[in-house]
Amino acid sequence: MQIYPKNTGPLRPDITRTSQPADVSDRGSVQPIGSAPSASDRSDKVQISDAGRALAARGERAGSAGLDPARADAIRGRILSGAYDTLQVVDAVARRLLDTGDL
């Protein structure tokens, strides 16, 4: 099998840029660009908004009266058997998602 490339020349930008000449007086001096970040600065951080905290609190209250394991198993069984694979169910779910504004 042979592969024939379409572009055989070097890659070049569409627009060429010209660099500005350096100031002659700056050639002798070296300017530091700043210190490297420490290990604590490079770590990921998470900030949870007040709205997020309110949603979490609402979920905890709803979770106390949430789904029991027997009901979850019954729903899981219906999903696996294909009971929700109908156009009517998909339409109802889509309409509810649109009504909630989550999309």
75 located within any domain: yes
47 located within any domain: no
Output the average pLDDT for the chain. Answer: 75
31 located within any domain: no
Check whether 1 has a pLDDT greater than 70: no
Q: Which domain holds residue 92?
A: 70-103
Based on the structure, what is the number of domains in the chain? 1
Q: What is the pLDDT of residues 38-50, one digit of tens each?
A: 666 667 888 999 9
58 located within any domain: no
Q: What Cα–Cα distance (Å) separates residue 39 from each residue in 8, 45, 75, 78?
A: 45, 13, 47, 50
99 located within any domain: yes
Burial of 36 (0-12, 13-18, 19+ CB in 10 A): exposed
Identify residue 75 by its one-letter amino acid code. I
1 located within any domain: no
87 located within any domain: yes
96 located within any domain: yes
**What global pTM score does this model have?**
0.31
Question: What is the C-alpha separation between 50 and 56, in angstroms, rounded?
Answer: 10
